[in-house]
Structure 1
Amino acid sequence: MAEEFGNYLKQLRESKGLTINQLAALAGISGAQISRIENGLRGVPKPATLRKIAEATEVSYEELMGHAGYLTEAESSPEGPIPVWATSKDKRDFRQMLEDDGELMFDGIPLNKEDKQRIKDVLTGLFWEAKQMNKRTQPKHNPGKE
């Protein structure tokens, strides 16, 4: 998947007439990171990184999330991107995590919409990574061996 996404990103960047360094500057990430992604040497970027690339390339965030494997084609929800492997319980857990609509503040100052979205992107990525890791590490229950 990382190599496929890397090829997609390279084609996207070139179609926009951008060098690696230009894309890196626009997205606020390092040129080395862009290069590693394009060459399949780094895994698929996290949702927060994909949002930066989407804004820099003027491509929809959902399109990048789809190419990165976070979404099935055209899948999206009000809660944000949901991986194809997520169960209904996983989706419920995610909605519960985001339900608290309290005002987010930093150092006593309310956060603006852009900063709230950045935090949501990071939390979304971390939530789904943790869920996926948990699914890989949980021992399978074998009812005949209790």
Structure 2
Amino acid sequence: MGESQFGSYLKSVRLQKGISVNQLAFDSGISNAQISRIENGLRGIPKPVTIRKLAEALKVPYEEMMDQAGHIREERMHEVPAWATHKDKRDFKKMLEEDGEVMFDGMPINDADRQRIMDVLTGFFWEAKQMNKHKKPHDSDNLPKP
């Protein structure tokens, strides 16, 4: 789904709920200018944290809105290993959503750098989960040597 399609989806949900751009801006904490740019396809697909604010303000399931934005399907789900359990996926989602400001040397990092860091963390997360699955007490003889 392209950004204009997501914008159309957002606008149709907002209109269906009878909410003005200004009201949505107030309820979500996202500027009305940014909402207008999203709806008119003048801004890229919003980040998950923005989508969560919009979904909560519009009382739409976050997963549905993320799916409409193409986030979960294309960006994240293909990275989930086949062996991951429901609990593993929940833990991963929790890690991604801990959305504190990421700082480096006292300065917040930009979105591109943050995305690169999240991609690296995604790899480390699944690597660690997989290693933990292999560390059963009776399997210790079969562990690969460092």
TM-score (norm 1): 0.56
Is the alpha carbon distance of 1:20 and 1:120 closer, same or farther for their aligned partners in structure 2, counting shifts above 3 Å?
same
Say yes or no: does 1:83 pair with 2:76.
Answer: yes
Where 1:5 maps in the other structure, the secondary structure is helix
Displacement of 1:120 after TM fit? Answer: 1.2
RMSD: 3.7
Determine the C-alpha separation between the residues in 2 that align with 1:87 and 1:119: 16
Which structure has the bigger radius of gyration?
Answer: 2
Structure 2 residue matching 1:72: 3-state secondary structure: helix
Is 1:7 aligned with 2:13? no
Asked if 1:49 corresponds to 2:47, the answer is no
CA contact (8 A) 1:83 1:128 kept: no
What count of residue pairs does the alignment treat as equivalent? 101
Query: Per residue, is there more helix in 1 or in 2?
Result: 2
Q: Report sequence identity in percent.
A: 46
TM-score by length of 2: 0.56
Is 1:129 the counterpart of 2:107? The answer is: no
CA positional deviation for 1:85? 4.4
Residues 47 and 121, structure 1, Cα contact 8 Å, conserved in 2: no
1:18 pairs with 2:19:
yes
